[in-house]
Amino acid sequence: MQYVTVTPDGGQPKCYGHCPADLTGKWRLTWHTGARNTVSLAQVNTIGEIAFFEGTYQADDGEKCLAVGYSQGSGDEGTANLRVSCKRMDLFLDGKLELEGSEIQGSYTAKAAATTTGAFKMSRSVCMLPEGCTKD
């Protein structure tokens, strides 16, 4: 059984028990070709064992695209689904959580002038500098 409470001040939901993975933060998205992009996510809601996220995807041309999705489960048994909407394309990513939720691996479909598919890996970006990190 899972218990979810929301803080009275509108802060992040607190979860007790079996909770979905929190994917909040900055991620490095690596495509099967080796190309990379940045994704930033923030948790916006939790319902049962599903956490919902929204954020941005930094496209190759510099466009900041809307990213929305959800995770279900946690640890190495969870899944994540993400949809990215840009002016010239839509991306659909379906993946499996790995390394206790610090990595997501799976497949994608990109719909633009043509539809392409392939594999991707998302790795959580971790800043170790005491002054913080501002660059990708």
Per-residue pLDDT tens digits for 67-93 = 999 999 877 778 999 999 999 999 999
| Both structure tokens of 125 | 């970006």
Cβ neighbours of residue 67 closer than 8 Å, sequence gap 6 or more: 39, 40, 41, 53, 54, 55, 56, 57, 82, 83, 84, 85
pLDDT tens, 109-126?
999 989 999 999 999 987
Domain range holding 9? 2-124
pTM over 0.75: yes
| 6 domain residue, yes or no | yes
Domain count, the chain: 1
**Low-confidence winner among 8-17, 19-28, 47-56 (lowest mean pLDDT):** 8-17
CATH number of the domain at 95, please: 2.40.128.30
Q: What is the pLDDT of residue 1?
A: 35
Give pLDDT, residue 62. Answer: 93
Instruction: Determine, yes or no, domain membership for 133.
Output: no
Q: Would the pLDDT of 10 be above 70?
A: no
| Both structure tokens of 136 | 């990708």
Query: Do 13 and 5 contact (CB within 8 A), yes or no?
Result: yes
Q: Tell me what the mean pLDDT of segment 125-134 comes to.
A: 67
